[in-house]
Chains A and B, each alone.
Chain A
Amino acid sequence: MTNHTITHSNTRSSTNSSLNSSSMRRILPLIMAIMLGVSVLAVAGHAQSPTLHGAAHDTRHATGFPCH
């Protein structure tokens, strides 16, 4: 744990570019997770194909998505 922390602070203090790539590496998966979540919601909550709309109808109304 201590080693891990030390390695980290060294990486952070080295250069600006490595700081940027390090924070990007940490934030990118979170952005991907958010985009995945938005995609799931777009299909389950907003997509208007008749079959999908019919199947999700009651839940969309109850969860306040704009429907019809």
Chain B
Amino acid sequence: MFSRVVTTALFAGCIAGLLGGLLQLYFVQPVLLHAELYESGTITHFGSDPMTHASHGDSELDLTRDLLSLGFSMAIYVGYGLILAALMALRQESNQTISIRQGLIWGLAGFIAVHFAPGFGLPPEVPGVASASLESRQIWWGATVLATIIAFWLIAFSKAPIAFGLAVVLLLAPHVIGAPEPDMLIGPVPPEIASHFAARAFGVGMASWAVLGLFSSYFLATHAADDVD
């Protein structure tokens, strides 16, 4: 069982991470590099000719940086894949099959749980934005992801009506409590670039998670026959 989950996570995670990494390099990286010019002060938001800097422009190819991004994208989605495949296998333990179409829904739910829900309080941020202390944001991020995953599990699989109520509470609680916020807003990056970055990060994340869910269900079903126990 363990090797089946790990094999599934490796294959599905590498595919999703590679695809997500390539989408990231094409769609997100130009926005990020543009933002870094403001972060470093190479160009400034006010007082300069806005027409010069309105376009993201062609991002320069930095092979080492881009390959590292691809590698880490694959590592992150293998990590997510391990959790996703283990939870899928847990359902299969209850004699529930997961079709590839259902896998797609698992993937989209995963995207909402680890990307969109924490992003509701801590939007994907361009370099240089002001933010609260890293530790407090990491704790809030982790708690939000965990609460959302439990809520989705209750909605999807619990038969007790009270579970729906509990799920709603779990979904809302992190956002009612609220994400840690910075004391001052001092970001040098224009809001147009920041919002464009957040939207692109969400889009690429959703596509990657859809692929992760789809391939996780596929590989898990493919390797089911290999299981000896």
Contacts and interface: CB of A to CB of B under 8 A. Distances in A.
Interface of A: 25-27, 29-34, 36-41, 43-46, 48, 55-68
Contacts of B138: 46, 66
Given A63-B115, A66-B134, A33 B75 contact: no
9 contacts: A30-B90, A33-B82, A33-B83, A34-B82, A41-B76, A55-B68, A62-B24, A66-B141, A68-B127
B122 A62 contact: no
B29 A58 contact: yes
A40 B29 contact: no
A31 B87 CA distance: 9
Interface stretch (B1-9, B48-56, B97-105, B155-163): B1-9
A30 B83 CA distance: 8
What are the 10 A-B residue pairs with the smallest beta carbon separation, nearest first?
Answer: A37-B82, A40-B79, A29-B2, A66-B137, A41-B79, A33-B86, A37-B83, A59-B72, A44-B75, A64-B124
Contact of A55 (B24, B72, B89, B205): B72
A30 B141 contact: no
A55 to B, nearest CB: 5
Contacts of A63: 20, 73, 76, 115, 124, 201, 205
Contacts of A25: 229
Given A33-B5, A55-B68, A61 B32 contact: yes
B93 A26 contact: yes
Chain B interface secondary structure, helix, strand, loop or mixed? helix
Contacts of A55: 68, 72
Contacts of B18: none
B28 interface: yes
Given A33-B9, A40-B79, A48-B134, A59 B73 contact: yes
Given A37-B81, A61-B32, 19 more contacts: A29-B5, A30-B86, A30-B87, A32-B2, A37-B78, A40-B75, A41-B79, A44-B79, A46-B138, A58-B68, A60-B72, A61-B28, A61-B126, A64-B123, A64-B201, A66-B138, A67-B134, A68-B131, A68-B134
Contacts of A39: 79
A40 B71 CA distance: 13
Contact of A62 (B2, B5, B141, B201): B201
B152 interface: no
A44 B72 contact: yes
Contacts of A46: 138
Contacts of A43: 75
